[in-house]
Each structure stands twice: as structure tokens, then as C-alpha cells.
Structure 1
């Protein structure tokens, strides 16, 4: 018991220390767990020695991860994304696997070993790739959508890859054909039980448990479901993760999906973190010390091969040059599922322990290099290609429209539709070619081009227009456009969208007459509805909302006057303003109470 408690303290302490540091450095939580494992493992401080037992136990984190992925993969959603997923994702996995398999065979590996290694190396880290895309707000761009499609295909492709490994193990055998057929029959029977149970038995079971009103029992049933299916698949000789994934897909449209995901998520996160930590402990750093040239050559070779395949896919899908390099760099590293595939390949005798150790080091180092590749792209590569577009800019037609709208995203679309409804002519500029082609099918007059270019603004009729609506996503582009319009078209009245408070302050510095914070009014309306839901009269909720709005707008001007000063000064201003607001609201309530007492209501 003492040893178990001590190990638990060591794991948690290592994670608590390493993961926040890794996140702060931009390396991501996965690399934080890997680093923690390396530090406390046999090649670090030697605090943990029984790595294999921990690794086997922590594989339940991968099982739960695939169960959650299955819950999120609604069949209808998959069908809508089928062509990008199958085309881009299938092309990347098949292309990378083919090239790496040939390389492995040329190196003298048996074809089964070469294929198993290539399958694992073709996968990328979803966690590492999605983090920069989310932070940079790039998931909605063509490059972000393409990367997400490939990652989604890879997550799905893990399942057939795991199912293929037993076939690679028994393929050379001739005398074991009858045993192979028995194993296949067991596999089919296990999958059939999961499909039947998931469709007809689980919902009544969850309904009965939910009626008890005991949350802990529902959580226990959720864990029992996942672990029971994993045990069934293990007895059938198949991957535990395969069964969990199938169960998740079957429950994706269940009314209990969100409840299941919520209950499984904490266990999944902890066990998955333990899995990555165990992988870090199992990384043979001695290989990097004893064979540095071989290991580093394999890491560079992996990144080059995957990068070239991804570049080919990007060019075939006509991805813009400004997004191509980041797209390739984000997906060129290895992924966490490679560890699972290599471990399974070792269990089936396809790989020996030395090969697994070598490939594990290669994948871990490639994952560690991903943030460095992103920095390389930002500093050296993207500045060279950011102005290079595959599609020439449109030449807008000067139709004498009084309004020019720059940016036709979620914000600009509403403005344009309102103006169209009132028969006001609008010239729209946007830099997303895919969105423009789609909107033109709905008869919107949208032109492809960078609104920060003076020649395009002139061609759009900025010299004669009355209003410029700045609704672009990029804060930098927004300010650049305002500066350009104020310098060359002083007659234009500028109406600008502000993404946040600092952006609003920059627009105020430029004396933009009309500034709208993109979520301010909708949040006010929602707050007003909340007050009414709490039982306050509609007129009172409306009055309090208007009072808050006026107070907030006045505070914005006060903060702008002191924006360049010390932050303590701004904090003091906000505290004083909050106190004044509370006093005003209390005075309004007393006035309303007095009016009701006099019978004026």
C-alpha cells in the first residue's frame, strides 16, 4: 500500500509540475506528460522502475479516449464531411504509409514490420496539431479545416490499423489457418454482441439507472460499460480500443451521450495523462545517447517524408501558399496513437523490443519538434509566402454603392443582409475564396481580395462611397484598413467591429466614430433575459440593462483616457465605476418602489 501511495504522489507531482510549464512554453500538455515520464523514469531520477505494468494499466486511458471519440462522431456529421475526410485524410495516411513502407523494406526490414511501423508513423498528434490552430483562430480557415479532416480520418483509421495487426502476425503461418478462422469467428461474435447490445440493451439500462437519480451509480455503469467491452474484445483477441470506439459510435445519438461523456472525461484525462507519462518513462534515452546520428536521421526523415506528402496534398487541394507550410508542419510529426500501435505490434510479435524503443524515441522527438517547426514557419517561411495567392484578386466593380463591407464572416454577413433587405447597395470584400464561391451561389455580390490594398479599395468605389464597415477577423488587418481609409478616403464614415477591449481602444485612438464590440449587445440581451427569468418585471429588467449599457459606454471612454497608464490606475477606475453602478441601480430600485407606493405603476 505504501508503495502504491508513493507512486501515486510521484505521478501527480510530476504532472502538476511538468504540464503547466510545458503549456506555458507552448509545448502542449502531451509533451508535458512525456517530459514528466522521462524525468521520473529509469533514464531520469529512477523514481519509478516498473514501467511495463504502469503502461498496461494506463492503456485504459486510450480505451476511454476512443470511446469519447466515438460518442462525438455522429454518423450524419461524418457523412457531411465524407469527401474532405476520405480524400485528404485517406490520401495522407495511404501516401505516407506507402512511402515509409518502401523505405523500411529498402532498409532490410521484413514487409510486415515495415508496414506496421509505417502505419504508426503515418499518424499525427491531434492534441499538438489542434492547439496552435485553436490559439490562432485558424480552425475555420481552409487550412484549418483540411488539417482537422486529416486528423479526424487518422482517429478513425486507428481502428482498422489495430484490427490489421493480428493479420500481419499470422500472415506467414500456414499451419495455423484453422486457429485463424476460430479467432476470426470470435472477433465477429464479439463485434456482433457489442453492436446488438449498444443498439438494444444499453438505452433501457441507462434509463433504469437514470430513474434512480443516483449520479454515482450512473458513473459506475458508464465505467462498467467501457471496461466490460474492453474485456470482451481482449478475450476475443482484438483491440480493447476497437470495442470502446464501436460502443461510442452506437451511443452517439443516444439521449445519454452528454452525460456519458461528462462522466468518462475525468477518468479519461487522468488515465491518458498516466499513459503519456508511462510512455515517457519507457522512452529509451540511452538510444539517443548511444546512437544519436541514427535517431536524429530517422526523426528528420520522418518529418521530411510526411511533410512532402502533406505538401502534395495541399497543392492538389489548392490550399493557399500562406497556409500550406503551417498545414504541413503541424501534421508532419508523429502521434500518440503510434505508441499504441507499436505496443500492439510488439504483443503480436511483429516488432521486437529494440525496434519499439527506437520508433518510440523517434515519435517522441518528432512531437517535441512540432512547436519548433511552428516557430520556424512564423519567423522564416510564412513571411515569404503570405502575399502569394493561388487565385488572383477580383477587380471589384464600382457600381456607386454607398456602403463597402470588408469581411463577410459571421459578423459582416448580418450587416450585409440587413442592408440588402432595405435595398441599400453594398460592395463586399473578403479574402476567403471558398466562402466567396459558396456565397455567390446564393446571389451575394462578393469580391475576392485583401481590403487593406489601396488599389482594391479604389476599384470598389471607396472614393464615392459613404460608409466603410470594417468587419474583418484580424485585429491587425482591421487597424491597417482603418489607417488606409482615413488617409486616402477621409469622406468615408467608418463603422468598425472590435473583437475585444484592447482592439476597441486602438480604434478609439484612431477616432473611429462608431465602434461595436462584437458580443456586447447580444450579451446584454442575454443578461436582460436572465433578470426576467429570475422573476424581475420586464420593464425593470430593461431599465437595469440600459443603465448598465450607459455606464459601460462611459467607462470605456474613461479607460481610454488612461489606457497607456499603469494598470493599477485602470483597476481603481473600474472599482470606482462598479461602486457607482451599484449605487445607481439601488437608487433606481428605491425610486421604483416609491412610485409603486404612490400608485403610479
Structure 2
């Protein structure tokens, strides 16, 4: 029975709205909820939805959006700093897993070509499941999350040569030399075009569209941008997700980064959910029921062997002991590109369609198993490594006028100053030892992540007047400011800036009261240095005051140009020359004044 798009949408949304909250309530995670929903409504469940292949291809756009948004969160310098884990660790993971799986399959009597392609496809992991899990659990910043992310990026790149290799292993390998040269030229041209467009075409277009002040047009352009880049990547035979990730990185320092993130986030969530649901629908239980023992044995053997290799690599990659099992389970399943690799292998007659179907079911079931393995990790493994950790404190609703986020050496001075003046503040900090120590000194300190809206609300953000952001980590600081401005717009924010870039990022978010953490102390010590060199105390303080005013004036003047490095360098040189000239004039005036005083005497 053929159903309309409207009916399919109704079934999909109803299934996910029912299944996902239940799975979350049972502690199974959202991903498993989507997978189970897909199994229930698919061809082997209630048969409410047909055309699973079409839905699966369309829903892969969720993975594309996910990679684009992740790219927006990285700048090229940060990406370059990850070159070792991406290309070193990534190549080692793919190579080691391929070798182990190939040896095991060949030892069981599988033809070497079949064993090689199966091993290559199964060495890849699911970008969608792993990254969605990292986001859901807020683990991207952990060593396990960072290592997993780097390896997944390499896997997306490695899938391309794997697919290109398959025709040469087929029954009648074609002469593809001319075609390969043409394909390579296309890939290079598109990548160069992407770099050029990201810098000189897309940004001016975003600026032009933003000036229309029509939010829906900006959202439409954001979707158009991602779809166009994905289509180009597909046209040249590259990974759509990898291409859009590169585009995201190129726009990471754009002034429209946050607008793009907020506009695309809802589409990413919906399409990723559709992707997981489609994977659940694509599990061919006909193949499974024909050979259940064989398939279960293959799934268990595959997961065990790949997990063993990943666990050994986790030690090699210096992943902390408490996160090694998590890293292993995150990457243990088969990935989306395995479907493509096995489909291409069946077309090239490297192995039969039946073998391809069997391997696809193994991959799909390994995806279903991943959330279960993570639940096992949470219940049995993680508690053993939590002796030095604890969950966020339960906070009774607070009514203090000030909330201080971060109570290290910077935040403590503010807290002590307020307490000395009998002004009470609610303090949030993420260091449990620090929290316990400060409580002994009478501070009202709570343990937890200050960027969690529910924790801020419990800390009294609805009634407080001021939020002092004194967090060490720059990204966490900016995240907290974003959440506070979105959920508690009445709160006046005063923030500590770690450096000049952080200062400007905070200004971008409308934070008007800012202090650079080392600036005032450096100025005061600089004044002491001048005094030791013979400057009169009054003159030294006057020099410090003029330097402070000039620096602040230059800081504000440079703000509109802080993303333009040549302009910033030019303004810095001009400012330094102005400062030198000003102090030279002051020195002449001081000498003249000194001579006049001596003459009077």
C-alpha cells in the first residue's frame, strides 16, 4: 500500500514522539529510541512506511548538517592543531581494525577479496551515532570525545579511496585511468572553489542577506548553502558530510556563525532523528530470520574484535582509563558508509547481493547494539571510575542579587570583596575539591556546570540582578553568556576576558562591562618598574593612567576590524607610534618643568 508524504510524516513523528521519551526515561538514550521506532513502523514491523531506501538517502542530510555545524565550531587553526590525531590516530584505527577483521575473515575461509572489502567497510564507524551521542552527553570536550571526533573525520575521508578501490577487485576491472584523472581534477577544483567562495563570496552574500532583516530568507540561504555544497561533493564522488564540514570550518570565524548555528540546529535534530529511524526500518529481518545464528555470531564477533582493537588503541592514544571503555563503545559499530561500500562491492561483483545484504544487516544490528553497550557502560563500568566525581549539587532556589560563575583565583577576589561588604552571592564552580574547601570558609558555593539553564535557574537567575562570568575556559565562558542572554535577558552580565580575542567575542554578545584578567595587575607592576628606574611616583602613576586610557581607546577603535588581521596590524603600529609620540612630548614637558623648578629654587 502506497502512502502519501503527509501520512508518512504523521507516522514518523508519532512513532518518535512515543518511543524516544520512553527510551530516555528508561535510560536507554534517544538514539536507541529512534532505532526502535523505525523497527516498529518499518517493513518488518507494522509496515506503516514503505520506500525505506529513499527515506534513508534523504535522512543522510541530517549527518551532513551535523558535520557543517561541528565545522562552524572550529576555526582553521584549531583544525590544523588536530592534524596528528586526525591523520595519525585515524589512519592507525582504520588500518588496525581492517587488518584484524581481514585476518579473522580469511582464517575462516572467506575469499580474500570479500574479506578485504568487508574488513574495510566494517572498520568505519557511524558518524551520526557517535557524534549524536557525544552531543547528547556533552562529551565533545573530553579526551575520549576529542579522539573519537578526529578518527571519525579521517574515516569520512578514508571512505572515498575505499569505494574507488572496489572496481579494481571486481570480476572485470575497467580501465579507469582517464576517468580517475578527471575525477581528481574535479575534486581539486571543487575544494579550491570552496575555499575561495568561503572567503570571498559566501560571506558577502550572508552580509547582503542579513541586511534584509528577513530571518526566513537567512534560514533559506543557510539551507541552500549546505544543500549546494553537499550536491557538489556528491557530484565529484566525495563525502557530502566531509565537504560541508570543510565549509563550516571556513565560516567558523564569520560574524554570522551563531546565526547559522541557531537557524540550522532544529533541522539537524529532526533529520538526524529521521536518519536513525530509517536505519531501524532498514534492518532486513528476512535475512536475519533465514540465518539467525550466523548473523548473531557475526555481530557478536565483529563487535568483540573491533572493540578489542579500539580498546588497545585507546591506551596508545593516551585516553584516560575512565574513558577508554566509552571511546571503545562509541566507535565499535559499523557506519553509514559501510552501506555504500557493500553496495558498490555487490555492483562490481566482488561478492554476491546475498553477501551484501547479510553484511548490511550486521552493520545495522551493530548500530542498534551501540546504545545498549553505552547503557552497559553507564551501569557497570563508569561507576568504578567515579570515586573522584560527583553529580551536580541539588540547589534550593536562591535569591541572592549576584551569581558568580567560576570561583578560581579571579572569582574568589570578587566574592571576598562582596562578602566583606555584607553582599551575599551564589557561586557555581565545576571543581569539587575547590567547592568543598571554600564551603569550610563560609562561602555559599555549589558544584555543577554553570552553563546548564536549570542550574542557573536554581541559583536564582530569575531574580538576581548581576551575573559575574569568571570561568577559566573561554568556550565555556562564551557558552554561558549565550545561554544567559537567551534565557535570562534581564541579567546584567559582567565578564572576565582571558585575552583580546575573548574580549571581542564577549563584546559581540553585547557584554559591556569587561575586565582583562591580567591587564590592571600588569599596569600596576609596570608603574612600580618605572619607579625603580627613577621615575617619581606621581609621574609613574600618570604614565600608567595615560597608557590605560590610550589602550582602551585603541581597543574600542579596533573592534570593528578585529577579524581583519592586516588592518589590526596596521592599527597596532599606528597606535604604538601615537603612544611613543605622546610620551616623548610628556618627557620634554617634564624636563622643562623640572628645569623651571630648579631655576625658581
Does the Cα contact within 8 Å between 1:471 and 1:497 map onto a contact in 2? yes
Aligned equivalents of 1:234, 1:194: Cα separation in 2: 14
Query: Cα deviations across residues 166-196 of structure 1 (Å, max 9, x unaligned)?
Result: 4213334353322332233333333333332
2:357 is aligned with 1:357: yes
- Cα 1:65/1:416, change in 2 over 3 Å: closer
CA distance in 1, matches of 2:383, 2:5: 52
The structure-2 alpha-carbon separation of the partners of 1:54 and 1:70, relative to structure 1 and needing over 3 Å to count, comes to same
| Partner in structure 1 of residue 104 of structure 2 | 103
Summarize the alignment of residues 150-169 of structure 1 with structure 2, pairs less than 5 Å apart.
150-169=147-166
Paired with 1:368 and 1:339, the residues of 2 have a C-alpha distance of 15
The question of 1:72 aligning with 2:12 is answered no
1:233/1:239 contact within 8 Å kept? yes
The TM-score with structure 1 as length reference comes to 0.61
How far off its partner does 1:383 sit?
6.9
Question: What is the deviation of 1:19?
Answer: 1.8
Instruction: State how far apart, in whole Å, the 2-side matches of 1:81 and 1:520 are.
Output: 39
Cα deviation, 1:369-408, whole Å, max 9, x if unaligned, reads 33443454566556778889xxxxxxxxxxxxxxxxxxxx
Distance in 2 separating the partners of 1:321 and 1:183:
44
2:521 is aligned with 1:526: no
After superposition, the Cα gap between the structure-2 partners of 1:128 and 1:239, relative to the gap in structure 1 and judged at 3 Å, is closer
Aligned to 2:292: 292
What RMSD in Å do the two structures reach over aligned CA positions? 4.4
- Correspondences of 1:440-455 after superposition (within 5 Å): none
1:210 aligns with 2:210: yes
How much does 1:530 deviate?
7.0
Alpha-carbon distance between aligned partners in 2 of 1:335 and 1:248, rounded to the nearest angstrom:
22
Q: Structure 1 pair 73/498, CA: closer, same or farther in 2 (3 Å)? A: closer
| 2:553 paired residue number | none
Q: Look up the match of 1:222.
A: 222
Matches within 5 A, 1:314-333: 314-317=314-317, 321-333=321-333
Q: Paired residue for 1:414, among 388, 409, 414?
A: 409
* Residues 98 and 120, structure 2, Cα contact 8 Å, conserved in 1: yes
Q: CA deviation at 1:358?
A: 2.5
Note closer, same or farther for the CA distance 1:91–1:182 as it changes in structure 2 (3 Å cut): closer
* Cα distance between partner residues in 1 of 2:154 and 2:89: 13
Q: Which residue of structure 1 lines up, in the alignment, with residue 446 of structure 2?
A: 498
Matches within 5 A, 1:4-15: 4-15=5-16
Cα separation, partners in 2 of 1:52 and 1:208, compared to 1, 3 Å: same
Aligned to 2:259: 259
Distance (whole Å) between structure 1 residues aligned to residue 18 and residue 295 of structure 2:
28
User: How much has 1:283 moved relative to structure 2?
Assistant: 0.9
The residue matched to 1:247 in structure 2 has which SS? helix
3-state SS of 1:212 partner: coil
Residues in 1 aligned to 2:246 and 2:285: alpha-carbon distance in whole angstroms: 36
TM norm structure 2: 0.61
Secondary structure at 2:300 match in 1:
helix
Contact 2:140–2:146 (Cα < 8 Å) also in 1 = no
Q: What runs of 5+ residues in structure 1 fail to find an aligned partner?
A: 389-409, 423-469, 486-491, 502-516, 535-601
Q: Does the 8 A contact of 1:499 with 1:518 survive in 2?
A: no
- Equivalent residue, structure 1, for 2:542: none
Deviations 1:341-393 (A, max 9, x none): 556666777665434432333233333333443454566556778889xxxxx
Measure the CA separation in 2 of the matches of 1:417 and 1:194.
47
1:27 correspondence with 2:59: no
Shift, 1:412, TM fit: 7.0
Alpha-carbon shift at residue 44 of structure 1 (Å):
0.8
Q: Give the deviation of 1:226 after TM superposition.
A: 1.9
Q: Helix, strand or coil for the counterpart of 1:26?
A: coil
- 1:253/1:370 CA distance change after superposition, 3 Å: same
Question: In structure 2, do the counterparts of structure 1 residues 518 and 496 end up closer, same or farther at CA, with 3 Å as the change threshold?
Answer: farther
| Contact 2:125-2:155 within 8 A present in 1 as well | no
User: For 2:252 and 2:348, how far apart are their aligned partners in 1?
Assistant: 31
Q: CA deviation at 1:526?
A: 2.3
Distance 2:352 2:382 in 1: 41
Q: How far, CA to CA, are the matches of 1:323 and 1:314 in structure 2?
A: 9
Count of residue pairs the alignment pairs up: 438
Answer yes or no: is the 8 Å Cα contact 1:61–1:272 preserved in 2. yes
Q: CA deviation at 1:152?
A: 0.9
Judging changes above 3 Å, is the alpha-carbon distance between structure 1 residues 349 and 251 closer, same or farther for their aligned structure 2 residues? farther
CA contact (8 A) 1:38 1:280 kept: yes
